[in-house]
Structures are given as C-alpha cells and as structure tokens.
Chain A
Amino acid sequence: MLRDVTLEVRRGEVFGVLGPNGAGKTTLLDVICGLVPASAGEVTVLGQVRGSRDAGLRARLGVLSQETALYDELDAMRNLRLHASLFAVADAPARIEELLRLVGLWDRRTDRVGTFSGGMKRRLAIARALLPDPELLIFDEPTIGVDVEARHAIWQYVRWLRAQGRTLVLTTNYLDEAEALCDRVAILKNGEVVTVDTPKHLIARAGRCVDVDCPDALASAVRRRLSDAPEIVRVESRPGGLTVFTGDHDSHVERIRELVASEIGDVRVDVRAPALAEVFELLTSAPPR
C-alpha cells in the first residue's frame, strides 16, 4: 500500500525507484501504468490524468513487468507480432527486425520462447516494450534473475534509451544498478517516499564513512563507546573492524579518532564517501546504533 506518495519524473530522465521488498515499488509502477487504481490523489502521466478510459495514454507507454509475460509456446517473432497488432505498430515487420537485432535475438527469431534463457526472455520483453516507440518506459526490476552478462547487456539498452532522450522509470533492488543508470532515485519504505535525489547527492548527504580497524574481541567495546557520541549516526560491524557513519565534517572524523584511541589506542582509520548501498541501508533500516 502506498501512502502520501508525491513524485515527479522529468522528461528524458531515468528515474529509479528503490526500496526493500514490500516497500511498494511495483504497486507504484502499477498505479502509473493504470493496472491498479489509486485510492486517493491524482496520477498524471505524460500530461494526462490517469482514468479508466485512457487507451490513448496506454499506447504511449512501454511496460516491462517483473514476470516477462511472454508466450513460451510461440516463437519470438510471433510474440512481437501479437504486440504489434495490439498497438497498431506501423511497418511492424521492419520495426520487429530492428528491435530483435538491437537485443541480439534476430538469429533466434523463429525459436520458441520456452527454449530461451532468463536473460534472453528479458531482452525480448524489452524489445516488446519498445515496439510501439513509447514516450515513457516503465521497467519493473529489469535485471532480476538474469546473469551478469545479460544484466550488463540490459544496462546498455537503458543507457541507449537515455541517449535517445526517452523517459524511463525503473525499479531495482540492485543499488549499483541505480547508481550506474539513474539520474534520480526515490527511496520507498513501507509505501512512503523516504527521499528523492540524485545518487550523487544522496551519497553526499549521507556524510562520511569511517572504517576503523580493530580486533573483533575489542569491537563491541569500541562500538559501545562510539554509540554514546551524538556526532555518530550509525555504527556497523564488518570483518576486521567497524564502519562508522557520521556527518560531513572534519571535526566529526577527529572525534571518532579520539573516541577510538581512548578505548583501544591508536589504530588505522580510513575516511571515505559511503556507497549508495550504505546510504540505502541508512535510510531504510531502523534507526542507528
């Protein structure tokens, strides 16, 4: 269930929706697509308010759902032909060929989709979403369940789409994917928007990470000591030490050094920017310490 979600996606950007399982990512996409009606509020897509009779709007969307929703018994060509006929795609044979070549499936065009790997099915589903040349693309976890090679191939298509000036909304559980592909991301938690920003700003907003090396036996004592300091946002254990999240001030880092030294003497302390995964963890998990 979504609560008080207010978002705006700009034309031509790749907008990521992140969140733990059950956060409401797919529900949000379904509301945008019109598969699930919003119980309150208003959804405006491509300048048009979402309603029950918006066939014209549906023709301007390209959707890739989590389940690829292909007919396994039919070949790749026939799957695309069916979609082309529903969307009245002009010069469908040429368009189908162009897209099958784009996703590298032209040589497998007459093979039954049931014989395809998960990655190939995803690529075919992407081709299908692109078939009507949509203005807005909505991808629900486009790389879920595919191998690394297929994942990178899908990233390439997304980058290509962005270069073409397409607007794309995607959900993902992979933070490196969001960091690599998205211009902006929204983080959802329990159906609410926690924050919306660019990955770069989110990382900057999260302050700094201080990796403290210390023996495991002393880690809990150091952790207790650090937890009392108001400058520290969160402390996490890692192999061979602790990771301490703090604000973006040199004084905070110095304070951490002092606190650690007071507990176990001088140890190695590295300061770095947090990864998006760490920011995500910070924003979506229970409060600190």
Chain B
Amino acid sequence: MNPWWRSTVAGARLEAALLLRAPLLLVFAVVQAVVFLVLVTLFGLTGSRAPTALIQLDHSAYADAFVHSLERAHHSFDLRPMSAAEAQDRLRSGELVAAITIPAEFTSTIRSGGTLPIPVDVDNVDVDLTDDIQRAVPSAIAAFGRELHLPQLRVTVHETDVIDHDTGYVPYLTVSALALDAFVLAALLAASSIAREWETGTIKLWRLSPTPASAWFVGKLAVVAAVAMVATGLTGFVVVAGYGVRPRDPLACVATLAGCVAIGASCGGWLGMVVRRTAVILPLVFGLALPLYLDSGTLEPERFDGDVIWSIAHVSPVYYAVGLLERAWHGLRVTPEPVWLNVVALAGFAAVTAVAALRSLRRARLR
C-alpha cells in the first residue's frame, strides 16, 4: 500500500474507532437531523393552519358549497364551526385568528343577484396572518362562484397552473430542510473531529509521520461524511415513510444530498483547522448555517423575495442544493438557473472548500 492510501486508511480507521467509542454522538447526530426536520415541519404547520371560526347562520346547499370552498383555500384556514358569541369570546382571548360569518340571508341574496358582505373579524396582531385571510377569502369566493356557475358574481379568476401538481407547504419545507441537515451534520462532525486533534495535540503525530497529512485528513473526513450521509438518509426516510412525501427521482436526491455532505465536510474540516476548539464549533456552525438556510429558497423560491435577497442567496451552496432537491423530489423548478448550473455550482463549492481545507492543513503552524 502506498503512503497516501496507508494514511487515508489509518485516518478512516481512527475516526471510525473514535466514533464507535462515542455511540451517543452518533445517536445525537441522527436525532439532531430528525429534530431539525420536526422544527421545520412545525414552522410550516403553525403558519398554514390558522384557527378560524366559522359562524354559519345559513345551512342551505349554497352556504355549504361556500364553506367547502373556504376549506379548500390553500395555506389559510383551520375552520372551526361555532356560535357567534363563542367566536367573539375566543377571538378576544387570542385563541382564534379570525371569524368568518356566513349570514342568514346568504342564499337568498345570491339567488337574487344582490351584493352580500361576508363579515370577517380578524385579530390583526400579526399582519402576515391578516394578509393570508384577506387573500384567502376572495380566493374562496372566486372558487365558489366558478364551481356554482354564478353569472352574477362579479369576481372571477381564471387560474392556469404553471405546474401540473400542487405541493403542500410542509412537503416543500421538509425537502429543503434535508439539504441543511446534510450540510450542518457533516460540517459539525468534521469540524469537531479536526478541532479535537488540535486540542489533544495529536495533529503533531500526523505532521510528523512519513505519510502525507492530507491523506489522513481525507480519510477522517470520509468517515465523518459517511456518518452524516447515514443520518441524512434516515431523516430522508422519515420524510418518505413518515410524511408520505415520495421523491420523483430518488437517485438525483441521493446525489444532491451526497454533494451537500461533501461540501459540509470540507467546510467543517477547514473550520476545524482554523478554529481549533471544539467548544465553539456548534454555535459557529449553526450561526453560519441558519441565515444561509433561510436565504436559500427554503420557505419559498428565493426569486420571489426581491432581487437583493435573491442575489445574496447565490453565495450560499444551500440555494443550489435546494434548487436541485426540490426538482428531484417534487419536480419543481425553484431556481431560474438550469439544473446543470446548479450541479456545477455545488461541485465548485465542494472543490473550493476542499482546497481551502487542505491548504490550511498544509500551512497550519503547530505552535
């Protein structure tokens, strides 16, 4: 075996032995990935199911059809039928976001072609939720008019979908969360693994050995990346089996996540070389990763958030990863850049971070 391979294998064996002697770390790595998925899911759920009272004073077929339209309005209501008095009570106590009243004269007014105000009481404590209600009610009215072919209804929307299928908000979020999971896990494990070599002084061993230190570095990071990939894979399994969100192109999903892991491991290795202290790794990685995550098309395609934010997003590898993952998982195009450009960008990030890490290893002064 030549010295390079000897050192790579030794580094990999060492890292595997160290990780196996810290089984809790492995468990926490997986738990952390799943917890992050849950966090994102909760974020999606809390924003998309606003508790809204439905005060239905008319129980005719027209009124029921309108309620049905309200229920189908995307990302808006969790309709809860109740009396007007109870609705006012709960609205004031903060248990409801809004109360929609279907007046008793709903059917008669529609039949006669008259104009009927639909009373909506909104707790405008958060303007975002208020906006959601304001958008959703006309949308539901339009859908209601279209379904019942009401010629006298003045609001008409002719909706043509760009994509031939709808994607739920939670499934959209969870897939992009996987990209960040892969980055964060790989970066954390890699940075901790390298930083501890500095803390214990064992980095000297590698520099003093006749084999190339870069090979040892690669061997260690390879094992770390494998662990991060397994943890990300398990989280992906939760998304598929637990959430029922199936990928359209599983191979592309795995390849994208592997790219994310490779970049995360390289970044982490470089960070470990520079920071040299395990205690600061965790806050640093999370501190760096979360803004990149939020500005990477995670919550919605970044191009909808304005030119400046969209431009900034291009410096983050998560942007390209989310672009690739949403396409591979849901068949969505969330970045204007073509797939090949996203792939090239990810490969470029991986190469640049790997070179930076190896360069810092070669140049590191041990004293």
Tell me if chain B binds chain A: yes
Chain A residue, CB-CB nearest to B14: A82
Candidates A27, A61, A65, A73; contact of B21 at CB < 8 Å: A73
Contact with A along B185-221 (1 / 0, CB 8 A): 0000000000000001110111111111000100000
Is B288 part of the binding interface, using a Cβ–Cβ cutoff of 8 Å? no
Is A162 part of the binding interface, using a Cβ–Cβ cutoff of 8 Å? no
CA distance A55 to B216 in the complex (A): 14
CB of B200 within 8 A of CB of A86, answer: no
Contact with A along B206-250 (1 / 0, CB 8 A): 111111100010000000000000000000000000000000000
Contact with B along A52-88 (1 / 0, CB 8 A): 0001101101010101111111100010001101111
CA distance A69 to B196 in the complex (A): 11
Which of A6-14, A30-38, A277-285 lies at the interface with chain B? A30-38
Give every chain B residue within 8 A of A27 (Cβ-Cβ). Answer: 367
CB of B7 within 8 A of CB of A35, answer: no
In the assembled complex, the CB of A133 is this many whole angstroms from the nearest CB of chain B, namely: 13
Is B150 part of the binding interface, using a Cβ–Cβ cutoff of 8 Å? no
Give every chain B residue within 8 A of A65 (Cβ-Cβ). Answer: 201, 204
Is B18 part of the binding interface, using a Cβ–Cβ cutoff of 8 Å? yes
Is B347 part of the binding interface, using a Cβ–Cβ cutoff of 8 Å? no
Give every chain B residue within 8 A of A71 (Cβ-Cβ). Answer: 14, 18, 200, 202
CB of A74 within 8 A of CB of B18, answer: yes
Is B6 part of the binding interface, using a Cβ–Cβ cutoff of 8 Å? yes
The number of chain B residues touching the other chain, given as a range, is 20 to 34
Is B82 part of the binding interface, using a Cβ–Cβ cutoff of 8 Å? no
Give every chain B residue within 8 A of A85 (Cβ-Cβ). Answer: 6, 9-10, 13
Give every chain A residue within 8 A of B212 (Cβ-Cβ). Answer: 55
In the assembled complex, the CB of A69 is this many whole angstroms from the nearest CB of chain B, namely: 4
Interface majority SS (helix, strand, loop, mixed), chain B: helix
Is B148 part of the binding interface, using a Cβ–Cβ cutoff of 8 Å? no
CB of A35 within 8 A of CB of B200, answer: no
Interface centre among A59, A69, A72, A87 (most CB of B within 10 A): A69
Is B3 part of the binding interface, using a Cβ–Cβ cutoff of 8 Å? yes
CA distance A70 to B211 in the complex (A): 18
Give every chain B residue within 8 A of A30 (Cβ-Cβ). Answer: 366-367
Chain B residue, CB-CB nearest to A138: B208
CB of B367 within 8 A of CB of A35, answer: yes
CA distance A71 to B3 in the complex (A): 22
In the assembled complex, the CB of A89 is this many whole angstroms from the nearest CB of chain B, namely: 11
Candidates A34, A69, A73, A78; contact of B205 at CB < 8 Å: A69
Is B22 part of the binding interface, using a Cβ–Cβ cutoff of 8 Å? yes
CA distance A87 to B21 in the complex (A): 25
Is B27 part of the binding interface, using a Cβ–Cβ cutoff of 8 Å? no
In the assembled complex, the CB of B224 is this many whole angstroms from the nearest CB of chain A, namely: 15
A-B interface pairs (CB < 8 A), number: 75
CB of A36 within 8 A of CB of B365, answer: yes
CA distance A58 to B207 in the complex (A): 9
Candidates B17, B206, B207, B216; contact of A74 at CB < 8 Å: B17
Contact with B along A145-156 (1 / 0, CB 8 A): 000000000000
CB of A82 within 8 A of CB of B10, answer: yes
CB of B210 within 8 A of CB of A35, answer: no
Chain A residue, CB-CB nearest to B22: A73
In the assembled complex, the CB of A188 is this many whole angstroms from the nearest CB of chain B, namely: 16
CB of B211 within 8 A of CB of A86, answer: yes
CB of B200 within 8 A of CB of A74, answer: no
CB of B13 within 8 A of CB of A82, answer: yes
In the assembled complex, the CB of B7 is this many whole angstroms from the nearest CB of chain A, namely: 6
CB of B201 within 8 A of CB of A67, answer: yes
In the assembled complex, the CB of A138 is this many whole angstroms from the nearest CB of chain B, namely: 9
Give every chain B residue within 8 A of A83 (Cβ-Cβ). Answer: 205, 209
Interface centre among B208, B211, B366, B367 (most CB of A within 10 A): B208
Give every chain B residue within 8 A of A34 (Cβ-Cβ). Answer: 208
CB of B366 within 8 A of CB of A72, answer: no
CB of A86 within 8 A of CB of B201, answer: no
CA distance A59 to B208 in the complex (A): 8
With contacts A65-B201, A67-B200, A69-B201 taken as known, whether A35 is within 8 angstroms of B208 at the C-beta atoms is: yes
CA distance A95 to B18 in the complex (A): 24
Give every chain A residue within 8 A of B366 (Cβ-Cβ). Answer: 30, 35-36
In the assembled complex, the CB of A62 is this many whole angstroms from the nearest CB of chain B, namely: 9
CA distance A44 to B91 in the complex (A): 84
Contact with B along A6-47 (1 / 0, CB 8 A): 000000000000000000001100100111100000000000
CA distance A80 to B228 in the complex (A): 28
In the assembled complex, the CB of A182 is this many whole angstroms from the nearest CB of chain B, namely: 23
Give every chain A residue within 8 A of B206 (Cβ-Cβ). Answer: 86
CA distance A34 to B205 in the complex (A): 12
CB of A69 within 8 A of CB of B10, answer: no
CA distance A71 to B11 in the complex (A): 13
CB of A74 within 8 A of CB of B208, answer: no
With contacts A85-B6, A86-B6 taken as known, whether A55 is within 8 angstroms of B211 at the C-beta atoms is: yes
CA distance A86 to B2 in the complex (A): 11
Known: A87-B209, A88-B210. 12 other contacts (CB 8 A): A30-B367, A33-B208, A35-B204, A35-B208, A35-B367, A70-B200, A71-B18, A82-B10, A82-B14, A83-B205, A86-B209, A86-B211
Residues of A bordering B, CB below 8 Å? 26-27, 30, 33-36, 55-56, 58-59, 61, 63, 65, 67-74, 78, 82-83, 85-88
- Nearest 6 CB-CB pairings of A with B: A67-B201, A59-B210, A86-B209, A69-B201, A55-B210, A58-B210
21 contacts between A and B (CB under 8 A): A30-B366, A35-B208, A36-B365, A56-B210, A58-B209, A61-B208, A67-B201, A68-B201, A71-B14, A71-B200, A72-B200, A73-B17, A73-B22, A78-B17, A83-B205, A83-B209, A85-B10, A86-B7, A86-B210, A87-B209, A87-B210
